[in-house]
């Protein structure tokens, strides 16, 4: 089967010797809604721009719908939608002018869907783009990314800097109009709440690679925090299967695991203090905080 997106062992640096992504592999298949997570600077924008063909990796293979996006830019771009936080629409054009431009670019542009989205987002045609608020301009950008019914929608912090209601509206509109008909969506976000609400899969970038790539429900079920009143060091947990991070806090050794409580119980038996160990489920938000704190 041809994947919608295939990144295979991709490596990218901006300055010699400072790699941002190393050996990153990721595939997306039809209908998946994937939340791309990672701390500031983890490489989310870099990965999305490589997927789009806007950036070239120093090593590795990129395929969009089976094509090299740099060799076939027009062929792949017609099947894509893209919105980013810092995207700038031509400020001198009216909204209608921007829509006209997009209608001409995309043979699959759907006028009925355009009208539906314009009504939902309360977008008028006569205003100059340069006079729109940040939220209004982003609505126009989302409309332009969706109305040709792309097979893949790439969203790089699409609602960054906007209020919670606007965030919810953008993502839910995208999912409602696209995922329902089998399109694939990859969106980067710092908002766990957004990811938990709409993603079916989570991909976490950390330390230049993919640390987690899992079905969201499975991740929720198998994520636990193990705490031991132990004299052991953080290294005692680090080598165990499924342990993503560990640290000592206030004399307590704690580690996060993504292979379920049973697996943890079976592995920590030999550690000092194991008889007093507590193994509890934790939220994904807490998992990511533990990873940020426990893998430095």
Ligand X SMILES: Nc1ncnc2c1ncn2[C@@H]1O[C@H](COP(=O)(O)OP(=O)(O)OP(=O)(O)O)[C@@H](O)[C@H]1O
Footprint of ligand X (CB under 6 A): 14, 20, 38, 40-46
Shortest CB 40 distance to ligand X, Å: 3
Shortest CB 131 distance to ligand X, Å: 27
Shortest CB 20 distance to ligand X, Å: 4
Shortest CB 234 distance to ligand X, Å: 26
CB nearer to ligand X: pick between 41 and 182 = 41
CB nearer to ligand X: pick between 41 and 266 = 41
Give the orientation angle of helix 111-120 with respect to helix 95-105, to 10 degrees. Answer: 150
Shortest CB 38 distance to ligand X, Å: 5
CB nearer to ligand X: pick between 45 and 136 = 45
Short-list 222, 209, 287, CA closest to 21: 209
CB nearer to ligand X: pick between 42 and 199 = 42
Shortest CB 99 distance to ligand X, Å: 28
CB nearer to ligand X: pick between 160 and 260 = 160
């Amino acid at each position: 089967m041809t994947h919608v997106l295939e990144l295979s062992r991709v490596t990218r640096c901006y300055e010699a010797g400072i790699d941002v992504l190393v050996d990153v592999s990721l595939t997306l298949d039809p209908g998946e809604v994937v939340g791309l997570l990672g701390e500031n600077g983890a490489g989310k924008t870099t990965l999305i721009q490589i997927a789009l063909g806007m950036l070239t990796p120093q090593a590795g293979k990129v395929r969009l719908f089976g094509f090299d996006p740099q060799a076939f830019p027009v062929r792949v771009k017609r099947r894509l939608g893209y919105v980013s936080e810092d995207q700038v629409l031509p400020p001198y054009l009216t909204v209608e002018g921007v829509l006209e431009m997009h209608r001409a670019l995309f043979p699959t542009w759907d006028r009925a869907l355009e009208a539906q989205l314009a009504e939902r987002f309360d977008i008028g045609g006569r205003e100059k783009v340069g006079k729109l608020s940040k939220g209004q301009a982003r609505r126009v950008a989302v409309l332009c990314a969706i109305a040709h019914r792309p097979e893949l929608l790439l969203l790089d912090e699409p609602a960054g800097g906007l209020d919670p209601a606007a965030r919810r509206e953008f993502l839910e509109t995208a999912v409602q109009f696209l995922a329902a008909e089998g399109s694939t969506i990859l969106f980067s976000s710092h908002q766990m709440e957004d990811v938990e609400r709409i993603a079916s899969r989570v991909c976490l970038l950390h330390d230049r690679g993919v640390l987690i790539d899992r079905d969201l429900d499975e991740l929720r079920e198998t994520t636990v925090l193990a705490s031991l009143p132990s004299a052991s060091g953080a290294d005692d947990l680090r080598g165990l299967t499924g342990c993503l991070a560990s640290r000592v806090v206030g004399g307590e050794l704690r580690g996060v695991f993504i292979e379920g409580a049973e697996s943890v119980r079976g592995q920590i038996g030999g550690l000092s203090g194991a008889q007093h160990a507590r193994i509890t489920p934790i939220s994904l938000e807490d998992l990511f905080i533990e990873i940020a704190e426990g893998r430095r």
